[in-house]
């Protein structure tokens, strides 16, 4: 595989997924509270954050603790962020991923109030 081309594809596709997901929800990017993105590596995450020019505190990250967890990265990131209090009920959250087979997706959600013990 051509690593540089995969990097470019990941950056472009996830950027588009983030922007389209927020737009479909009717949210300007500046009004999104948190971004939870697949973290294949810190370079891609950092480049994406810089390319969209949004505050760093809105980008959830745990790659330093868990590395690349493949298809589990977004759900694991959401769980860790929720447990740490970085996600609160009502937060407008955009999720996006790029992975195996050069597939990508994005969606948006309003973080729910979770039942005790959830």
Cα dihedral: 48, 50, 54, 55 (round 10): 110
Tell whether the model's pLDDT for residue 118 goes beyond 60. Answer: no
In the predicted structure, residue 1 carries a pLDDT above the cut 80: no
Q: CATH fold of 3-110, please? A: Peroxisomal Thiolase; Chain A, domain 1 (3.40.47)
Decide if pLDDT at 25 tops 60: yes
Is pLDDT of 108 > 90? yes
Q: How far apart are CA 107 and CA 59, in angstroms?
A: 15
Closest alpha carbon to 27 in 6, 5, 61, 58? 58
pLDDT at 14 over 90: no
| Distant-in-sequence, close-in-space partners of 101: CB < 8 Å, separation ≥ 6 | none
Handedness of CA 53, 38, 4, 67 (dihedral sign): positive
- Residue 116, pLDDT > 70, answer no
- CA–CA gap between residue 66 and residue 70 (Å, rounded): 11
């Amino acid at each position: 595989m051509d690593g540089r081309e995969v990097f470019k594809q990941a950056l472009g596709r996830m950027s588009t997924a983030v922007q389209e997901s927020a737009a479909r929800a009717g949210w300007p990017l500046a009004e999104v509270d948190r971004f939870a993105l697949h973290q294949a590596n810190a370079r891609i995450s950092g480049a994406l954050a810089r390319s969209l020019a949004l505050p760093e505190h809105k980008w959830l990250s745990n790659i330093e603790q868990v590395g690349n967890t493949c298809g589990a990265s977004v759900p694991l990131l959401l769980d860790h962020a929720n447990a740490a209090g970085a996600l609160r009920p009502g937060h407008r959250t955009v999720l996006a991923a790029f992975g195996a087979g050069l597939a990508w997706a994005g969606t948006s959600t309003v973080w729910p109030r979770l039942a005790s013990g959830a």
